[in-house]
C-alpha cells in the first residue's frame, strides 16, 4: 500500500483538440501544453505527424508542417477508433489507437513536467455513443502510451461533473450540447441518486466552429472583392491573415456588439497597396452563421425525441465547446428548452475538468471539492457616507477570517453602528443588509482616535460571525448571521449583473462620497489648526480662512459636488498660510538667535520639531 495518494489525471481526447486536467489543491486545474497556449485556449490540436527523416510530431508542431507533409500527417484519428482501419505512412502501418497513443504520450510528458512526478493513471473521456470496441480501443491507446486507464467515462458525464451536477438532489433530465470545432454532439442524460445515465444521443460529425470561421472569411473576401476586384482567396498569406482576424472578431463579438478588422497592406495591384478595413457587428456575424446554428436544430430535436421527452422536460442544460460562448448559440438552445444553461465553468475546459474530478474521486481526493465552498458575494460593513467597505471579497474560499481596524467619524462619539452588508455595489444601500448592531461604551475621544477592530469569520457551513472590538477598552459586541439569507444561484448572478450594469454611476457616487468625506475631514482639521495656531497668523488671514471654511461647511449641506470640490481646493490653499507662517516664524526666531547660546537654539528648534511632528501624526491618522 502506497502512503502517498497517487494523482490520476483526466484526459479529454477530442477529435480536433485535446487537453488534460488534474486535481490540485482540491480543484481541477488544466495541465498546460508544453508549446504554450494558443489564441483558442489551452488545448492543442489532435494531430500526429511522421516526418520523412523519422521524427514524430504531436500537436502544434504537427499542425504547422501539415501543408508540406499531407501523407505523413494524421488528423481526427478518433473517428477511426475501434475500426479495422490502418494508417499507412512511409511504408509503416499504424492503428488508430497507436496514433491516439502518441497524443496521450504527449499529455503524459506534459503532466509529468507539470506535476514534477511521473503520472501513471488516467481517466479518459469518450463520446456517449462510443460502443464497446471504441471504448476498448481508447483504453488500449492509453496502455500503449504507458498510462493505466482506470476509467473510461462519457464526455457529457464529465461535463456534468465539472458543473457539480452530481451533487444535485432529485431527478433531472440533462441536455449536454457539445458544439466543438468540427462536431456537434447532443446528449440527453437522466440523473438520479448520484448516477448519470445516457438516454439518447444525436449529432452532426461535420458541423462546428470551423464552419463559422469559414463563413466569416468568405464574407470578408467577398466584400473585399466587391470593393477592389481582387480575389484574396488566391493569396495564401492574405487568407491566413483574414482567417486569424475573423477568428479574433468572432470571439470578440461574444462580448461586444461591434468590432473592426484592420488589415493594412493585405495586397496590392497596379494602383498601389490595398488595405482591408471592415466593421462587423454582432448582428452581421449572427446573420453569417445563422444557417450553421439552424443546422443544430434537427439533431437537438432528434435527441429529445429519442429520449421520449418534450423540450420543456429538460431541467438542466450544459454547454460544451468554444462556439457555445456565442450569444446566438446560447440563445438557440435556451429558446429551444425554455431554460437557462448552467454557468460558471469554461465550456472549452469542462470535459477535461470533469475527467479530472472523476480521477480525483477514484484517487480519494474529492471530498475536498465538496467540503470547500466559496462566498458567492462580497461581505462588508457600511462606513462613512454610506459606502460599503468590503472585508471578504466574493469567491473567497470558506472557512475564512478577516479583520480590519476602523475608527469614529465624529468627536466624542461613544457608539459605533456595525451594519453588515452583502453584495457587489459600492454603496451599502444598494446591497443586501444582513444585520446591524451597536458597539457602545467607547471612551469619548476626538474623531479618528478610537480603534475598533471589526472581524468577519465564516465557518465551513457558511455561518457568518461578525464582531466589533474597541481595542482601547476591550469591549466587544458580536452578531451571528445564519444561512437564512442564503441566495439562490439566480439571485447571485442577478446581483453580480446589476453591479456590472451600474458600475459607472456607482463609481460616480462613490467619488462624490469621497469628495464629501475629504471636505469634511478638511473642515475638521482646519478648525483644529485654527484653535491651536490661530495666533500665528494675522487676524485678517484668520478671518479669511474662517470664511472659506464656513463656505465649505455650507456647501457640504447642499448637493452641489463641484462647489464642494472647488471650496475644498480653496480651503486647502488658504489653510496652508498657517503652516507657512509657523515655519517662517520659527526660522526668524532661529536666525535672530543665531548669535546667541548654542544650547538655547537647539532647544528652540527641538520644540518646533515636536510641534510639527505632532500635527503630522494627526493628519496621518485621518488618512487612515
Sites of contact with other proteins (CB under 8 A): 24-27, 36, 49, 52, 57, 61-68, 236-237, 240, 264-265, 268, 272-273, 368, 371-372, 395-400, 460
In the complex, minimum distance from the CB of residue 386 to other proteins, in angstroms, rounded to a whole number = 29
In the complex, minimum distance from the CB of residue 457 to other proteins, in angstroms, rounded to a whole number = 10
The residue among 36 and 194 lying less far from other proteins, judged by its C-beta, is 36
* Residue 178 annotated as catalytic: yes
Q: What is the CA radius of gyration of the chain?
A: 34
Compute the distance between CA of residue 301 and CA of residue 298 in angstroms, rounded to an integer: 5
The residue among 62 and 341 lying less far from other proteins, judged by its C-beta, is 62
In the complex, minimum distance from the CB of residue 606 to other proteins, in angstroms, rounded to a whole number = 46
Dihedral pair phi/psi, residue 591, rounded to 5°:
-65, -35
Compute the distance between CA of residue 20 and CA of residue 123 in angstroms, rounded to an integer: 10
The residue among 67 and 531 lying less far from other proteins, judged by its C-beta, is 67
The residue among 217 and 296 lying less far from other proteins, judged by its C-beta, is 217
137, with CB counted inside 10 A (0-12, 13-18, 19+), is: buried
Tell me if 96 sits within 8 A of 81, measured CB to CB.
yes
Which segments of 255-366 does DSSP mark as H helices, in order?
Answer: 282-294, 297-306, 327-337, 350-363
In the complex, minimum distance from the CB of residue 61 to other proteins, in angstroms, rounded to a whole number = 4
* Residue 486 annotated as catalytic: no
Catalytic residue among 110, 140, 178, 424: 178
In the complex, minimum distance from the CB of residue 264 to other proteins, in angstroms, rounded to a whole number = 5
In the complex, minimum distance from the CB of residue 92 to other proteins, in angstroms, rounded to a whole number = 20
The residue among 237 and 471 lying less far from other proteins, judged by its C-beta, is 237
Using CA atoms, how far residue 343 sits from 317, 324, 330, in Å, is 9, 12, 11
The residue among 36 and 91 lying less far from other proteins, judged by its C-beta, is 36
* Residue 7 annotated as catalytic: no
Catalytic residue among 7, 42, 78, 330: 78
Nearest one of 358, 359, 364, 356 to 19, comparing CA atoms: 356
Tell me if 139 sits within 8 A of 27, measured CB to CB.
no
In the complex, minimum distance from the CB of residue 11 to other proteins, in angstroms, rounded to a whole number = 23
Cα angle at 351 between 349 and 356, to 5 degrees?
95
The residue among 240 and 576 lying less far from other proteins, judged by its C-beta, is 240
In the complex, minimum distance from the CB of residue 55 to other proteins, in angstroms, rounded to a whole number = 9
Which residues are registered as beta bridge partners of 187?
176, 201
1, with CB counted inside 10 A (0-12, 13-18, 19+), is: exposed
Catalytic residue among 12, 140, 247, 506: 12
The residue among 344 and 443 lying less far from other proteins, judged by its C-beta, is 344
The residue among 69 and 218 lying less far from other proteins, judged by its C-beta, is 69
26, with CB counted inside 10 A (0-12, 13-18, 19+), is: middle
* Residue 78 annotated as catalytic: yes
Tell me if 148 sits within 8 A of 363, measured CB to CB.
no
The residue among 89 and 372 lying less far from other proteins, judged by its C-beta, is 372
Which residue, chain included where needed, has cell 494524421?
Answer: 74
In the complex, minimum distance from the CB of residue 375 to other proteins, in angstroms, rounded to a whole number = 11
Catalytic residue among 155, 342, 382, 457: 155
Compute the distance between CA of residue 382 and CA of residue 158 in angstroms, rounded to an integer: 43
Cα angle at 99 between 95 and 100, to 5 degrees?
115
Tell me if 32 sits within 8 A of 42, measured CB to CB.
yes
Residues near 249 by beta carbon (within 8 Å), at least 6 away in sequence: 216, 259, 261, 280, 285
Using CA atoms, how far residue 130 sits from 13, 150, 285, in Å, is 13, 17, 34
Compute the distance between CA of residue 153 and CA of residue 166 in angstroms, rounded to an integer: 14
551 grid coordinates: 463656505
In the complex, minimum distance from the CB of residue 290 to other proteins, in angstroms, rounded to a whole number = 30
Transcribe 495-506 into DSSP letters. Answer: HHHHHHHTHHHH
Tell me if 328 sits within 8 A of 286, measured CB to CB.
yes
The dihedral of CA 480, 486, 491, 497: what is its sign? positive
Task: Give the catalytic positions in this structure.
Answer: 12, 78, 155, 178
Amino acid at each position: 500500500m502506497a502512503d502517498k495518494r497517487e494523482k490520476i489525471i483526466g484526459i479529454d481526447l477530442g477529435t480536433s483538440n485535446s487537453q488534460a486536467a488534474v486535481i490540485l489543491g482540491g480543484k481541477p486545474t488544466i495541465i498546460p501544453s508544453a508549446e504554450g497556449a494558443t489564441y483558442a485556449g489551452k488545448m492543442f490540436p489532435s494531430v500526429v505527424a511522421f516526418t520523412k527523416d523519422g521524427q514524430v510530431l504531436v500537436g502544434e508542431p504537427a499542425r504547422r508542417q501539415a501543408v508540406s507533409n499531407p501523407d505523413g500527417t494524421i488528423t481526427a484519428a478518433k473517428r477511426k477508433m475501434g475500426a479495422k482501419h490502418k494508417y499507412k505512412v512511409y511504408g509503416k502501418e499504424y492503428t488508430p489507437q497507436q496514433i491516439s497513443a502518441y497524443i496521450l504520450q504527449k499529455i503524459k510528458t506534459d503532466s509529468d513536467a507539470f506535476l514534477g512526478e511521473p503520472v501513471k493513471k488516467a481517466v479518459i473521456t469518450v463520446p456517449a455513443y462510443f460502443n464497446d470496441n471504441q471504448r476498448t480501443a481508447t483504453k488500449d491507446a492509453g496502455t500503449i502510451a504507458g498510462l493505466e486507464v482506470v476509467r473510461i467515462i462519457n464526455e457529457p458525464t464529465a461535463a456534468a461533473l465539472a458543473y457539480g451536477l452530481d451533487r444535485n438532489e432529485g431527478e433531472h433530465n440533462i441536455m449536454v450540447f457539445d458544439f466543438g470545432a468540427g462536431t456537434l454532439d447532443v446528449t440527453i442524460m437522466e440523473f438520479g441518486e448520484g448516477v448519470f445515465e445516457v438516454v439518447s444521443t444525436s449529432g452532426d460529425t461535420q458541423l462546428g466552429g470551423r464552419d463559422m470561421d469559414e463563413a466569416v472569411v468568405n464574407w470578408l473576401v467577398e466584400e473585399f472583392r466587391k470593393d477592389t476586384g481582387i480575389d484574396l482567396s488566391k493569396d495564401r498569406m492574405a487568407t491566413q491573415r483574414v482567417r486569424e482576424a475573423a477568428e479574433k472578431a468572432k470571439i470578440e463579438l461574444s462580448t461586444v456588439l461591434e468590432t473592426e478588422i484592420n488589415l493594412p497592406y493585405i495586397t496590392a495591384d497596379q494602383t498601389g497597396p490595398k488595405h482591408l478595413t471592415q466593421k462587423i457587428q454582432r448582428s452581421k456575424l449572427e446573420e453569417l452563421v445563422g444557417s450553421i446554428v439552424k443546422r443544430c436544430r434537427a439533431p437537438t430535436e432528434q435527441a429529445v425525441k429519442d429520449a421520449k421527452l418534450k423540450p420543456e422536460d429538460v431541467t438542466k442544460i450544459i454547454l460544451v465547446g468554444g462556439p457555445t460562448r456565442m450569444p446566438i448559440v446560447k440563445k438557440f438552445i435556451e429558446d429551444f428548452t425554455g431554460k437557462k444553461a448552467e454557468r460558471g465553468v469554461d465550456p472549452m475546459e469542462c470535459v477535461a475538468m470533469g475527467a479530472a474530478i472523476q480521477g480525483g474521486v477514484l484517487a480519494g481526493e474529492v471530498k475536498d471539492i465538496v467540503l470547500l465552498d466559496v462566498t458567492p458575494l462580497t461581505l462588508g460593513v457600511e462606513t462613512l457616507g454610506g459606502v460599503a467597505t468590503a472585508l471578504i471579497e466574493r469567491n473567497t474560499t470558506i472557512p475564512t477570517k478577516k479583520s480590519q481596524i476602523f475608527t469614529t467619524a465624529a468627536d466624542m462619539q461613544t457608539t459605533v453602528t456595525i451594519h453588515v452588508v452583502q453584495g457587489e455595489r459600492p454603496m451599502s444601500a444598494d446591497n443586501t443588509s444582513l444585520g446591524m448592531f451597536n458597539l457602545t461604551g467607547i471612551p469619548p475621544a476626538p474623531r479618528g482616535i478610537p480603534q475598533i477592530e471589526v472581524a468577519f469569520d465564516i465557518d465551513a457551513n457558511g455561518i457568518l460571525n461578525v464582531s466589533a472590538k474597541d481595542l482601547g477598552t476591550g469591549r466587544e459586541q458580536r452578531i451571528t448571521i445564519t444561512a437564512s439569507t442564503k441566495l439562490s444561484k439566480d439571485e447571485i448572478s442577478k446581483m453580480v449583473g446589476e453591479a456590472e450594469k451600474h458600475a459607472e454611476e456607482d463609481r460616480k457616487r462613490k467619488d462624490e462620497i469621497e469628495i464629501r468625506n475629504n471636505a469634511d475631514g478638511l473642515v475638521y482639521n482646519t478648525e483644529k489648526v485654527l484653535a491651536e495656531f490661530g495666533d500665528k497668523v494675522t487676524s485678517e488671514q484668520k478671518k479669511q480662512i474662517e470664511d472659506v471654511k464656513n463656505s465649505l461647511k455650507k456647501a457640504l449641506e447642499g448637493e452641489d459636488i463641484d462647489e464642494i470640490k472647488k471650496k475644498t481646493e480653496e480651503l486647502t490653499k488658504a489653510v496652508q498660510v498657517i503652516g507657512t507662517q509657523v515655519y517662517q516664524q520659527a526660522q526668524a526666531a532661529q536666525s535672530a538667535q543665531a548669535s546667541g547660546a548654542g544650547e538655547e537654539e537647539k532647544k528652540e528648534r527641538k520644540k518646533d520639531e515636536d510641534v510639527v511632528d505632532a500635527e503630522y501624526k494627526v493628519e496621518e491618522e485621518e488618512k487612515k
